[in-house]
Amino acid sequence: MSFSNLPSFLLVVLLESLLGIATVHSQCITTLKLDAFTSKVEPLDYPIGHHVTYEKNSNCKWLISAPQSYCIRFNFTMLSTESGYDPDIITVYDGQTASDRQIVKSDSDVYVGDGFTLQYQAVPNSYCGKKENEKHNRHVTINIK
């Protein structure tokens, strides 16, 4: 599948000390390309596995794309990263590169956390372009075009 003309978002997870150097771990070898489907909500868990914390100095990227005439709805259903002086960063871009419009950014600290669970699904364009911030249960929903 060619991703060049599809509605997409790029999720960049840079989990490193600002003074450190990011390293690539087994779960983050390259930009992982995923498809959003209309028929079901897909999960993305980082790190993979239960009761596992992410590795320090990780640099991971996921490119999630939807079919033409659809956008991507996503929810962070769990987000547990470091907090404090030396933040980790989770950034979501509206497009395929880090030069596209940034739509979500989360900062955290030097100590590792449990990571995140992200649910995503392709939805018709008529549902796109609306920002829905649900404060209850710490869920955030953002629909992007």
CA angle 47, 48, 51 (to 5 degrees): 80
pLDDT of residue 82: 65
CB atoms within 10 A of CB 48: 11
Domains of the chain: 8-144 (2.60.120.290)
Q: What are phi and psi of 141, to 5 degrees?
A: -120, 125
Indicate the residue type of 81: T
Tell me if 16 sits within 8 A of 59, measured CB to CB: yes
Q: What average pLDDT does this structure show over 14-25?
A: 40
Threshold 0.75, pTM exceeds: no
pLDDT, tens digit, for every residue of 100-115? 554 544 434 445 567 7
Looking up tokens 């996503």 gives 74
DSSP-assigned letter for residue 11: E
Is residue 86 scored above 70 in pLDDT?
no
